[in-house]
């Protein structure tokens, strides 16, 4: 093997090819987290969602990801606690957010995933694009670029379209290590018309969200250095819904269960057999990025859906 490597080296030098070009380095690892607010997995299955379907086929998934933990269930089943758990990796008794007032928030002790990433990789580029403004106002920290697009008159579809363009710009023109991209119109359609696969407007919002997912993923794959990168795509929702709402859903499976998709070459394939939780998103992302998840961070989740040895 050493003789072969030496021969290849001589050939490269004779042909004017650099050694760095001839032997590919380890791929640059990156993460795209996509959050679709208020999205039920059974409604995804009823909708025409080619982008999500392909990401699921290219990875692993759990259709029953739990939105509250076994240790603590004192928070309401709404967005403030949900996105806090997703983006900090701990449950509400730690991050302190039990409702949408954000009263009692404890992000200084249990911060956003960007801050955890930068403790280990200070030069990492972290970006967030949302249309539910409280995520940017309260939760996001240590972002190199944090953008929020407030919908006018709850017109999340229009705001989501602008946010998609912003996420596409970041992923193509910047060099993000991690990007969090949020879509809000599915939850708004559920509150307006109903959270159910039989509700046409709710399914249509999911189908539009799927198009935005495709736009950002396509932009990601168009990066000049994409062939030398290993992107992990994580997709989830903060809660489900039933009727026109999702508050107080601790005993309601349609509300209590979200979903989790882990996709990419570093992901396993098929259904995730173990129980998954919203708090698994952060350790999964950090583990893919080769960040040592420290015990003192006291994360409640664990890495799921990753192939070993990558």
Using alpha carbons only, how large is the chain's radius of gyration in Å? 20
256 within a domain of the structure (yes/no) = yes
Whether pTM exceeds 0.95:
no
| Digit-coded pLDDT (tens) for 67-93 | 999 999 999 999 999 999 999 999 999
The pLDDT score that the predictor gives to residue 152 is: 94
12 within a domain of the structure (yes/no) = no
116 within a domain of the structure (yes/no) = yes
**Which residues contact residue 259 at a Cβ distance below 8 angstroms, ignoring those fewer than 6 apart?**
39, 41, 44, 61, 62, 63, 64, 65, 235, 236, 237
The DSSP 8-state label assigned to residue 147 in this structure reads E
9 within a domain of the structure (yes/no) = no
**Which residues contact residue 247 at a Cβ distance below 8 angstroms, ignoring those fewer than 6 apart?**
76, 77, 78
Parent domain of 243: 27-297
Q: Which of 8-22, 97-111, 290-304 has the lowest mean pLDDT?
A: 8-22
The pLDDT score that the predictor gives to residue 22 is: 37
5 within a domain of the structure (yes/no) = no
Largest CA distance in the chain: 71
Residue with tokens 């999964």: 284
40 within a domain of the structure (yes/no) = yes
pLDDT tier for residue 38 given thresholds of 50, 70 and 90: very high
User: Structurally, how many domains does the chain consist of?
Assistant: 1
21 within a domain of the structure (yes/no) = no
The pLDDT score that the predictor gives to residue 26 is: 86
Write out the H or E segment, with its range, that includes residue 49.
Answer: none
CATH code where residue 147 lies? 3.40.720.10
pLDDT tier for residue 24 given thresholds of 50, 70 and 90: low
pLDDT tier for residue 30 given thresholds of 50, 70 and 90: very high
Average pLDDT over residues 284-291: 98
238 within a domain of the structure (yes/no) = yes
Average pLDDT over residues 148-171: 97
Task: Please return the burial class of 22, using the count of CB atoms within 10 Å of its CB with bins 0-12, 13-18 and 19+.
Answer: middle
d(CA 172, CA 184): 23
The pLDDT score that the predictor gives to residue 308 is: 82
């Amino acid at each position: 093997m050493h003789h072969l490597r030496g021969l290849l080296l001589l050939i490269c030098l004779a042909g004017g090819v650099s050694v760095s070009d001839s032997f590919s380095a380890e791929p640059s690892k990156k993460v795209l987290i996509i959050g679709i607010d208020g999205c039920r997995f059974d409604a995804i299955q009823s909708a025409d969602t080619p982008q999500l379907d392909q990401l699921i086929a290219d990875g692993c998934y759990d259709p029953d990801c739990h939105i509250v933990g076994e240790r603590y269930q004192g928070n309401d089943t709404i967005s403030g606690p949900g996105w806090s758990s997703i983006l900090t990796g701990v449950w509400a008794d730690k991050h302190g957010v039990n409702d949408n007032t954000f009263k009692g928030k404890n992000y200084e002790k249990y911060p956003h995933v960007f801050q955890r990433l930068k403790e280990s990789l200070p030069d990492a580029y972290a970006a967030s694009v949302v249309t539910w403004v409280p995520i940017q106002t309260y939760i996001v920290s240590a972002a190199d670029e944090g953008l929020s697009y407030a919908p006018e008159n709850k017109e999340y579809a229009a705001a989501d379209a602008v946010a998609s363009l912003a996420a596409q710009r970041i992923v193509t023109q910047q060099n993000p290590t991690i990007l969090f991209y949020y879509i809000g119109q599915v939850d708004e359609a559920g509150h307006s018309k109903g959270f159910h696969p039989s509700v046409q407007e709710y399914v249509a919002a999911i189908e539009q969200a799927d198009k935005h997912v495709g736009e950002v993923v396509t932009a990601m794959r168009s990066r000049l250095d994409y062939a030398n990168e290993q992107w992990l795509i994580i997709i989830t929702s903060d809660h489900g819904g039933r009727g026109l709402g999702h508050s107080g859903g601790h005993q309601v499976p349609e509300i209590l269960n979200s979903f989790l998709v882990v996709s990419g070459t570093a992901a396993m394939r098929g259904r995730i057999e173990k129980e998954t939780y919203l708090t698994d998103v952060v350790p999964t992302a950090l583990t893919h990025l080769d960040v040592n998840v420290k015990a003192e961070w006291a994360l409640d989740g664990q890495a799921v859906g990753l192939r070993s040895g990558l």
